[in-house]
């Protein structure tokens, strides 16, 4: 007998931060690896298309999902080891990311503070290689444990094996639809150094007269910035930054800079330049505009919002219109961050 009863025609409205009212043909909460193994061994469930759901903050449901939604709910956070340089902390995939970051800070451990208030779950963080204010998950990531639907076994991957890139990892490539993250371990440095490469963070700390910030100080600054600039998904449906910041060759950046002297760009280690997608969208006049119930947030052009009752297809149509305008004006292709279902 299946250990946890599945639910059919299950509404996902409260499990995605856009608040899209789409349904899963079959829904199953997952609290442990035994549930995943039971799915693999079940004749009906093992044949269904699978969607692994964490916090639902990097997802755009454009239709009902005609398969099995596995909702990762495993909880738990703990210190697992330490050496001369690092303290190693592990969190279950279903843990809320921001809660985990704040827990680590409460223990006096720095390293994740720049990633405060990013919505989503711990398990999704390495898949997307989330990042903000000069820090990415890969910078603090040690290893993870995952379940393989092919052989029904768990396995461990270290940092290099995850092949992290900008908002990318092996879980969006070869291991997509095959592996499910169970828990993630981070190496937090004992000799912590503040990362204040972004001017916004320094500007937030300056009025507080904080010149030598602690990890908690930087977390507070990041939380204040994000609260001011980004809408709360509990109040207005959104998935945070909707588009990746495009990376272009130096020559293309120079050409764009000649035409648009105010272009916002950041040098990359490979010689290319990352362009601020929000600035590109704003220059095309989209900030604060709407198409039906789908809109662009008035305080940050990089954020698309559900103004009430929007469908996933309406939000996708808005995204396509923005992409077309940015391509036409700047010759730059914007790539969405959320996964379209």
Average pLDDT over residues 66-91: 96
Whether the pLDDT of residue 206 is over 80: the answer is: no
**Calpha distance 300→237 (Å, rounded):** 14
- Catalytic site residue from 104, 241, 265, 311: 241
Average pLDDT over residues 203-217: 81
Average pLDDT over residues 63-90: 96
User: What percent of the chain clears pLDDT 70, i.e. is strictly above it?
Assistant: 99
Q: What is the pLDDT of residue 11?
A: 96
The tokens for 129 are 């290689």
State in words which class domain 77-189 has.
alpha beta
Q: What is the pLDDT of residue 195?
A: 82
If DSSP states are collapsed to H, E and C, what string results for 5-49?
A: CCEEEEECHHHCCCCCCCEEEEEEEECCHHHHHHHHHCCCHHHCC
Whether the pLDDT of residue 264 is over 70: the answer is: yes
Would you tell me which CATH number, out of the four given (3.90.78.10, 3.30.930.10, 3.30.750.24, 3.40.50.740), belongs to the domain 237-340? 3.90.78.10
**Calpha distance 237→21 (Å, rounded):** 11
Which is more confident, 100 or 309?
A: 100
User: Hey, where are the domains in the chain?
Assistant: 7-72, 77-189, 199-228, 237-340
- Catalytic site residue from 95, 136, 204, 337: 337
> In which band, very low, low, confident or very high, does the pLDDT at 4 lie, cut at 50, 70 and 90?
low
* 338 CB-contact burial (10 Å; exposed 0-12 / middle 13-18 / buried 19+): buried
CA distances from 211 to 7, 11, 196, 204, 272 (A): 54, 49, 11, 11, 32
The tokens for 309 are 């009752």
List the Cα angle 47/53/57 in 5-degree steps. 150
Architecture of domain 7-72: 2-Layer Sandwich (3.30)
Whether the pLDDT of residue 110 is over 70: the answer is: yes
Whether the pLDDT of residue 1 is over 70: the answer is: no
Q: What is the pLDDT of residue 204?
A: 77
Does residue 337 have an active-site annotation? yes
Q: What is the pLDDT of residue 3?
A: 52
Which is more confident, 266 or 126?
A: 126
* Torsion over CA: 188, 192, 197, 202 (sign): positive
Q: What is the pLDDT of residue 41?
A: 92
Q: What is the pLDDT of residue 61?
A: 96
Whether the pLDDT of residue 156 is over 90: the answer is: yes
pTM of the prediction? 0.88
Whether the pLDDT of residue 207 is over 80: the answer is: no
pLDDT tens track for 9-63: 999 999 999 999 999 999 999 999 999 999 999 998 999 999 999 889 889 999 9
Does residue 44 have an active-site annotation? no
pLDDT tens track for 175-194: 998 999 999 999 999 999 88
CA distances from 304 to 238, 312, 317 (A): 6, 11, 11
Average pLDDT over residues 208-231: 88
The tokens for 58 are 């990097």
Does residue 167 have an active-site annotation? yes
Q: What is the pLDDT of residue 197?
A: 73
- Catalytic site residue from 50, 140, 167, 226: 167
**Calpha distance 82→8 (Å, rounded):** 45
Whether the pLDDT of residue 323 is over 90: the answer is: yes
């Amino acid at each position: 007998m299946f250990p946890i009863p599945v639910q059919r025609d299950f509404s996902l409205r409260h499990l995605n931060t856009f608040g899209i009212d789409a349904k899963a043909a079959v829904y199953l909460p997952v609290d442990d690896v035994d549930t995943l193994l039971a799915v693999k061994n079940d004749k009906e469930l093992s044949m269904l298309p699978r969607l692994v759901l964490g916090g639902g903050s990097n997802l755009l449901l454009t239709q009902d999902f005609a398969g099995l939604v596995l909702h990762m709910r495993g909880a738990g956070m703990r210190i697992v080891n330490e050496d001369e340089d690092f303290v190693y902390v592990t969190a279950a995939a279903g843990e809320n990311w921001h809660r985990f970051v704040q827990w680590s800070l409460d223990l006096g451990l720095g390293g994740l503070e720049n990633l405060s208030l990013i919505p989503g779950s711990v398990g999704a963080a390495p898949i997307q290689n989330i990042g903000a204010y000069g820090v990415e998950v890969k910078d603090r990531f040690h290893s993870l444990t995952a379940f393989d639907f092919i052989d029904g076994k768990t396995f461990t991957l270290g940092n290099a094996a995850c092949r992290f890139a900008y908002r990318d990892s092996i879980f969006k490539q070869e291991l997509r639809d095959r592996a499910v993250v169970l828990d993630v371990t981070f190496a937090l440095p004992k000799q912590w150094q503040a990362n204040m490469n972004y001017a916004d963070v320094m500007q937030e700390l300056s009025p507080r007269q904080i010149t030598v910030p602690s990890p908690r100080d930087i977390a507070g600054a990041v939380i204040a910035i994000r609260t001011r600039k980004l809408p709360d998904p509990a109040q207005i449906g959104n998935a945070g930054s909707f588009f990746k910041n495009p990376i272009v060759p130096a020559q293309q950046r120079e050409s764009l800079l000649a035409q648009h002297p105010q272009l916002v760009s950041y040098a990359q280690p490979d010689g290319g330049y990352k362009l601020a997608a929000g600035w590109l969208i704003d220059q095309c006049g989209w900030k604060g505009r709407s198409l039906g119930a789908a809109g662009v947030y008035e305080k940050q052009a990089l954020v698309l919002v559900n103004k009430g009752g929007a469908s996933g297809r309406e939000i996708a149509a808005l995204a396509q219109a923005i992409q077309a305008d940015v391509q036409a004006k700047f010759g730059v292709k914007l790539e969405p961050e959320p996964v379209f279902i």
